[in-house]
Structure 1
């Protein structure tokens, strides 16, 4: 098992403290709407990333990943943020070796994260 695999397994899907902080700052209703947008954008961006991956378009992947990891960080989606960072680094460095493995881990983390976010809405 690689270092990134060990670390990503220890990261929570969602940082509950971050969501509580956002709720305190924004209010429950605003946070609920924003989480809905996060779910929708995550789905759309995730599909676009998968298409770029299928075409092995590393530049396009890096652009989608940059946007996704930023959104994940904003909402405390720590595992997706971490894996997105690792994937973006691979794309920018044109490292194809761990790309598929990271991509599959990221897709699984995104699906699990979005499912958990739905529970908060």
Structure 2
């Protein structure tokens, strides 16, 4: 049987029932990702780190708007930034966000294309 003490099982999932603090923190993550532009930005950052100009061009939004979205994501702890000369480069801090966004997009792809669900 899987441990119930919060240690990860073979899939890496924590088995402890989440408390109010974990549920509220997770809800804040989903609230930040509920905006399509922010979700697109995080998906792009799951592929590779990038700067505001490249991200703005890829998502088709103005630099100031992308900067505001990235600021919200950074304040929410979903993305990190670092300076490289005059550029600010954004990245995802951990694999959890990468997996979450990839799974959300994969789920949406099945809904949109009608492909059958799988485990």
Higher relative contact order (CA 8 A, sep 6+): 1
Structure with the higher fraction of residues in helix conformation: 1
Task: Give the TM-score, by structure 2 length.
Answer: 0.37
Task: Give the TM-score, by structure 1 length.
Answer: 0.36
Structure with the higher fraction of residues in strand conformation: 2
